[in-house]
Amino acid sequence: MAVETLSVILLVALFAFLATGLWVGFALMAVAWIAMTVATSVPPGTVFATKVWGALNIWDLTALPMFLWMGEILFRSNLSRNMFAGLAPLTRRLPGGLLHVNILGCALFAAVSGSSAATTATIGRMSLPELEKRGYDTRMAIGTLAGSGTFGFLIPPSIILIVYGAATEQSIARLFIAGIVPGLMLAALFAGYTAIWAMMHRERMPQADSAHDEAGKLRAFMGLAPTIGLIIAVIGSIYAGLASPTEAAVIGVIGALILASASGEFGRTAFTESLLRATRTSCMIAFILAGAAFLTVAMGFTGVPRSLAGWIGEQGFSPYVLIAALVIFFIILGCFLDGISIVVLTVSVILPMVQAAGIDTIWFGIFLVLVVEMSQITPPVGFNLFVLQSVTGRNIFEIARYAAPFFALMVLATALLTAFPEIALWLPRTMMAR
Amino acid sequence: ETKWDMPTPYGDAVFHTQNIMQFAAAVKEATGGELSITVHSANSLFGHAEIKDAVRRGLAPIGEILISRMANEDPVFGVDSIPFLAASYEDAEKLWKASREDIAAKLDEQGLTLLFAVPWPGQSLYVNEEVTSTDQMQGVSFRAYNAATERLAQLMGAVPTQVEAGDIPTAFSTGRVSAMITSPSTGASSKAWDFVSHYIDTQAWLPKNMVIVNKQAFDALPEEQQKAVRDAAAEAESRGWEMSEAETAEKIQVLTDNGMQVSAPSETLKEQLGAIGQTMTDEWLAEAGDEGKAIVDAYRAM
Amino acid sequence: MRRFLNGLYAISLGLSALCLTLIAILVAAQIAGRVGDRILLAFGTDAVGLAVPSLAEIGGFLFVAASTLALAPTLKSASHVRVTVLAAALGAKGARVLDSAMLAGATVLAVFAAWHSTLQLIDSWKFGSVSYGVVPVPLWIPQAAMSAGFVVLAIAVVDELVTLLRGGVPDFRREEEGRDAVSGAVE
Ligand code: NA
Ligand code: NA
């Protein structure tokens, strides 16, 4: 069957399955099953079992439930409330106020977690209820979170950069370092946009907290201490060589348990609830990962992404046009496949054309992460959207709408990165010069 | 016209993958396009851990894996990963001649046909000081990723530390590990000079990747296509061994060019490591029984 | 029957949570071993290399088990994500028809998943497949958890379909409606 016909059939099928309200994991499975049955001679059932087993049997994934659990513990104790109370006076004069906590929180958390879903879920669980309580605009609260959640991939450690580095024989250490400045730039763009938005929409911002006296300020500020201590413990355990980034998540759980118990508001019921809720959220994400893995292998067998990428290669584009074409290609593919799958499926075809065009491979890794991050917030298949639907109960299309400005900022960041490649390349060159 | 999908674990820049690409092209050419193989590199179709079962179950007719990944299934698959048993290309080739038939027979029992095998460059030490004796390895945290590397670490007096491949740079820079044993290829591609200073060229063992094909799928091919595959495989094997040897020199040069201290093992170290090799060979023989003994005897007689 | 099924889902969720707790405990032991080694080194003695053997592999297996065993209870509590835009537009009656069709499709998929993961488990068991790391773990053990998870998921989907066809409200719908009411109240 021609690639075009197959692509159309699969797209229609995906939208149809999702529209019936089929759970996302099942919908992805169904599309994969159709693709394999229609276009290959491989037995779909055996492939399903082999691939789902392989896709979930991954050590690095264990950090996901641990971080989710940490978030649930903090949410159920008074720690996240105290943290916001402590931050409120600090951000009082800043246009956008506590909305910046989403951006800063995600950037900090991303320095520990390699996954965007874990970043979005953990920060979202703590911040969204607090922001809502304080009268912040829900749309903006969700939008900043959806956007900032994607830092998980760009700021090291990063699962995507590890996958890309392994597939292309690049130094993972250099890729990690190359992601730092672009990650900070993106955070600055988000914060700048949030500040401007807040100044232009004063009516949708809450009244500033009444000014505290100095003692009140100090008390509120002291409320920040436990959370800051926890962040230092988690990051510190990695840099002291006591824990790998995957293991550090457990330091987070233990730290959160200690702090929550010390606060006195965290009993056995809260413990059980936190664990069960983390179990369910982790399962929700894992089910979609399983469906996505089956779809990825089906796509590998049908060769659709390969031939689409190959088509771009045949056009003989100049470097800038090639980059632009790839951005569009990845955005379209990113609507339907998850980011890591796209990298895995296409890098073998795309990297040679990128190298032929004289584009630096470290730079291209960062570029890839940026465009793949966009796929996290584009419907219908976007992990941050699923996570946020599960946290807020709002549907993915609504969340995607709130995230749209941040999507646009990511496109802008990609343009900046293309115009000024040094944004990615300067730091690794400087730090790694021997 | 037959189309085969071929999952492989390593990236396109790795010489194993490049050799396999040439193998696939040779098969296509020799069969006049009647049999074409699409290589899915870098775990893009199935992950390394799944490739063997995927080929066995007929999900992919052909694939590549590291032979010693199967060592827990049968000790025979671990024969090329015994430190210092065959620590050069010449010896590795002899060992392969001595063990090939047994390995092929074990694979045949699983419904797999062995096509060819190509070694990685020898496994050498990456450490943070000039190590001239295993005394200096006492208490050093040493990366272990399977039973054999764990035992090696213990015998050197080092502390075996589990570190996953993607975590190596972080583990070194934060001090969770400070020594490892791997090929110059992996050292160069991971830019080992970013986090470790000395390379000691022990070439302790030359682990091999093998290309296996589902027996049913292979037998279903017409006679002349089977022959074409066999011929291309034989060519790929001899080409692969040459590529591997060239790669060793080339990648050690890369390490030197980037400021790593490259040195040959001292006489003391050689002696100590030889003794460790003997211990590990004995332990392997105890596990592998008569079959194993026959392989080692045949190898030593060559 | 009802009690048996609810018990089954509860056990499944409990086992899943237990797997996650085990991950936390094993990792904590691993970190404690490293800290212990640091302390020994600081006192001038040799490090002993306390470590949990094959932690990475066992962690992966526990994650598979945790992820699959929780599938059914997660579905029942409406924690799996789905798009309900069309159902909301259709009104109560239309939504029931749509849900029936959707659950019928989900039944096919869940049975497919349960069947093939069980075949995989049998294959690994017959074949004696073991893991690759320091501890050779028979793969059928974690694969049995995966298979059990999908079987319970299939049971749960059929359970919901039967409830709906009998004129009742499936658990996941009740949870979703409860949630809508809450978020509606906040706005
Ligand atoms: Na990160
Ligand atoms: Na998307």
Task: Write out pLDDT tens, residues A168-193.
Answer: 888 888 899 999 999 999 999 999 99
**Contact yes or no for A365/A154 (Cβ under 8 A):** no
Residue with tokens 């991971």: B190
pLDDT digits (tens, 9 = 90+) for A375-417: 999 999 999 999 999 999 899 999 999 999 999 999 999 999 9
Q: What is the pLDDT of residue A341?
A: 86
* pLDDT over threshold 70, residue C184: no
Interface of A with B (CB under 8 A): 42-43, 46-47, 50-51, 53-54, 57, 59-60, 157, 162, 165-174, 176, 238-242, 244-246, 297, 300-301, 303, 344-345, 347-348, 351-352, 432, 434
Beta strands in A7-97 (DSSP E): none
Are B164 and C56 an interchain contact pair (Cβ–Cβ within 8 Å)? yes
Q: How many angstroms from the chain centroid is the CA of residue B265? A: 21
Are C47 and B164 an interchain contact pair (Cβ–Cβ within 8 Å)? no
Instruction: Return phi, psi of residue A267, to 5°.
Output: -100, -165
C115 touches chain A (CB under 8 A): yes
Q: Which two tokens stand for residue A224?
A: 């920040």
**Residue A117 vs residues A121, A285, B37, B87, C99: alpha-carbon distances, Å:** 6, 8, 36, 46, 28
Contacting partners of chain B (3+ CB pairs under 8 A)? A, C
**CA gap C159, C171 in Å, rounded:** 9
Q: Which two tokens stand for residue A229?
A: 């201590």
Are A171 and B169 an interchain contact pair (Cβ–Cβ within 8 Å)? yes
Provide the number of structural domains found in chain A. 1
Q: What is the pLDDT of residue B55?
A: 97
C89 touches chain B (CB under 8 A): no
Spell out a b/e string for C1-21, using b for 16 or more CB atoms within 10 Å of the CB, else e: eeeebeebbeebbbbbbbbbb
Distance from Cα B74 to the centre of ligand 1, integer Å: 39
The amino acid occupying position A8 is V
Distance from Cα A386 to the centre of ligand 2, integer Å: 10
**CA gap A365, B11 in Å, rounded:** 15
**CA gap A340, A373 in Å, rounded:** 10
Are C132 and B176 an interchain contact pair (Cβ–Cβ within 8 Å)? no
pLDDT digits (tens, 9 = 90+) for A231-281: 899 989 998 999 998 999 999 999 999 999 988 888 999 999 999 999 999
Q: What is the pLDDT of residue C185?
A: 41
Q: What is the pLDDT of residue C181?
A: 61
C130 touches chain B (CB under 8 A): yes
Stretches where chain B sits below pLDDT 50 are none
Which ligand lies nearest the alpha carbon of A161?
Answer: 1
Q: What is the pLDDT of residue B235?
A: 98
* pLDDT over threshold 80, residue A294: yes
Least-confidence region, from A25-39, A330-344, B22-36: A330-344
Q: How many angstroms from the chain centroid is the CA of residue A433? A: 31
**Contact yes or no for C75/C156 (Cβ under 8 A):** yes
Q: Which two tokens stand for residue A15?
A: 């939208």
Contacting partners of chain A (3+ CB pairs under 8 A)? B, C
Q: What is the pLDDT of residue A434?
A: 47
DSSP H helical ranges for chain C? 2-42, 55-69, 71-76, 85-127, 140-165, 171-186
C123 touches chain B (CB under 8 A): yes
Residues of B in contact with A167 (CB under 8 A): 11-12, 41-44
DSSP string for B23-44:
HHHHHHHHTTTSEEEEEE-TTS
User: By residue range, what is the domain housing residue A159?
Assistant: 3-432
Q: How far is C126 from chain B (nearest CA, A)?
A: 12
Q: What is the pLDDT of residue A260?
A: 93
Distance from Cα B90 to the centre of ligand 1, integer Å: 45
Q: What is the pLDDT of residue C187?
A: 34
Helix/strand/coil for A267: coil
Which ligand lies nearest the alpha carbon of A339?
Answer: 2
The amino acid occupying position B48 is H
**Contact yes or no for B251/B184 (Cβ under 8 A):** yes
**Average pLDDT, rounded, for chain C:** 92
Nearest CA to A30 out of C150, C113, B57 is that of: C113
ipTM value, please give it.
Answer: 0.95
Q: How far is B284 from chain C (nearest CA, A)?
A: 15
Q: What is the CA radius of gyration of chain C?
A: 22
**CA gap B60, B51 in Å, rounded:** 8
Residue B238's CB is within 10 A of a number of other CB atoms, namely: 11
**Residue C148 vs residues B64, B97, B124, C66, C127: alpha-carbon distances, Å:** 31, 45, 44, 11, 20
Strand partners, B125: B181, B200
Mean pLDDT of C107-117: 98
pLDDT digits (tens, 9 = 90+) for A99-153: 999 999 899 889 888 888 999 999 998 899 999 998 999 999 999 999 999 998 8
Pairing mode, strands B141-144 and B159-162: parallel
Q: How far is B89 from chain C (nearest CA, A)?
A: 26
pLDDT digits (tens, 9 = 90+) for C69-83: 999 999 999 999 999
Q: What is the pLDDT of residue A433?
A: 57
Burial label, B153 (beta-carbon count in 10 A; 0-12, 13-18, 19+): buried
Instruction: Return phi, psi of residue A246, to 5°.
Output: -70, -45
Are B173 and A173 an interchain contact pair (Cβ–Cβ within 8 Å)? yes
Which ligand lies nearest the alpha carbon of A160?
Answer: 1
Are C34 and B57 an interchain contact pair (Cβ–Cβ within 8 Å)? no
DSSP state for residue B10 in the 8-state scheme = S
Pairing mode, strands B198-200 and B261-263: parallel
Mean pLDDT of A349-376: 92
Which of B51, B53, B149 best probes binding to C when mutated, by most C CB atoms within 10 angstroms?
B53
Mean pLDDT of C87-110: 95
Helices C55-69, C140-165: crossing angle, 10 deg rounding:
10
The amino acid occupying position A406 is F
Nearest CA to B234 out of B115, B119, B118 is that of: B115
Mean pLDDT of A320-331: 94
Q: How far is B171 from chain A (nearest CA, A)?
A: 7
Residues 6+ apart with CB under 8 A from B155: B276, B279, B280
**CA gap C83, C103 in Å, rounded:** 14
pLDDT digits (tens, 9 = 90+) for A206-240: 876 665 677 777 887 788 888 889 989 998 999 89
**Contact yes or no for A369/A161 (Cβ under 8 A):** yes
Helices A396-419, A319-336: crossing angle, 10 deg rounding:
160
Q: How far is B120 from chain A (nearest CA, A)?
A: 15
Distance from Cα B75 to the centre of ligand 1, integer Å: 40
Residues 6+ apart with CB under 8 A from A162: A60, A114, A172, B166
Q: Which of residues 66-105 of A touch C (CB under 8 A)?
A: 66, 69
**CA gap A304, A289 in Å, rounded:** 20
**CA gap A49, B110 in Å, rounded:** 19
pTM across the whole model: 0.95
Which ligand lies nearest the alpha carbon of A111?
Answer: 1
**Contact yes or no for B138/B132 (Cβ under 8 A):** no
Q: Which residue of C has its CA nearest to A244?
A: C31
Measured CA angle at B128 (ends B123, B133), to 5 deg? 70
**Contact yes or no for B91/B245 (Cβ under 8 A):** no
Q: What is the pLDDT of residue C130?
A: 95
Residues of C in contact with B49 (CB under 8 A): 132
C142 touches chain A (CB under 8 A): yes
Which ligand lies nearest the alpha carbon of A288?
Answer: 2
Are A165 and B53 an interchain contact pair (Cβ–Cβ within 8 Å)? no
Nearest CA to B30 out of B237, B209, B240, B234 is that of: B234
DSSP state for residue A242 in the 8-state scheme = S
**CA gap B11, A433 in Å, rounded:** 26
**Contact yes or no for A383/A376 (Cβ under 8 A):** yes
pLDDT digits (tens, 9 = 90+) for A51-63: 999 999 999 999 9
